[in-house]
Structures are given as structure tokens and as C-alpha cells.
Structure 1
Amino acid sequence: MRKRRKSHLGQRLSARTWALAADEAGMSTVEYAIGTIAAAAFGAILYTVVTGDSVVAALTGIIGRALSTRS
């Protein structure tokens, strides 16, 4: 009878282990967190690039040429 009880216990543990491994309840929260961190990092990099001197000078030049009136 002990062998049967151990076998049944082993089956229950195996089933529980597979259920825990297949459980994805917290995955969406982790995915949102990683996505939020990636978006914040991308925003910081984009802000650094756009506010750099060369980009500001180029945009100012483009806007200045667009607004200049030539007859």
C-alpha cells in the first residue's frame, strides 16, 4: 500500500508542477512592465537626440527657409 501512496503522491506533485509551469497569470503584468520600461527608455533617447544642438539647428534652418519669403 505504501508504494501506491507514493505513486499517487508523485502523480499529484507532477501534476502540480506542470500546472505551475503552465500558469501564465502574471505574465501580462511582466510584459506591461517591460514594455513601459522600454517605452520610457526610447522616449529618453529620443528626447536627447531631438534636443541636441545639431537637430535643433537643422530644424531651425528648415523652418527659417520655409518661412522666408522670396519674391
Structure 2
Amino acid sequence: MATVARVTTITSRSTKSFEDAAREGIARASKTLRHVSGAWIKEQKVDVTEGQITSWQVTLEVTFVLED
């Protein structure tokens, strides 16, 4: 029996760190998508105000296994 997976792109933002943005993104995706099996960070971005980082953003490619 073969396993078939799908990949979807999501974006998540945090006021703490890239790691927190990724963690929150995976947690949120897992509420909607079943069988999340992995993710990779496709892009990272920061927002800056007056020379200070105000938020960290990640674009994630989330992999989930399709059900039969």
C-alpha cells in the first residue's frame, strides 16, 4: 500500500521569534489538517519599526498524509 501526501503553504507570525512563529503555525495547521507529518521553512521575514524587530514571520510548506 502506498502513502500519498500533500503539501500546503501557510504563513505564521510571532512577536517573539522565528521558532515561535513556526511552532504556532504547525499547531494551527494541525487543528485543521489531519496527519501532519512534517514541514519546512520556505521563507523568513522580519518587520522592523524604528530600527527594532517588531515581528518574525515564516512561510511554511506543511506536509500531511491523505486518508484512504
**TM-score, length of structure 1 as denominator length:** 0.26
Q: Which has the higher strand share?
A: 2
Structure with more contact order per residue of length (Cα contacts < 8 Å, sep ≥ 6): 2
Q: Which has the higher helix share?
A: 1
**TM-score, length of structure 2 as denominator length:** 0.27
Structure showing greater Rg: 1
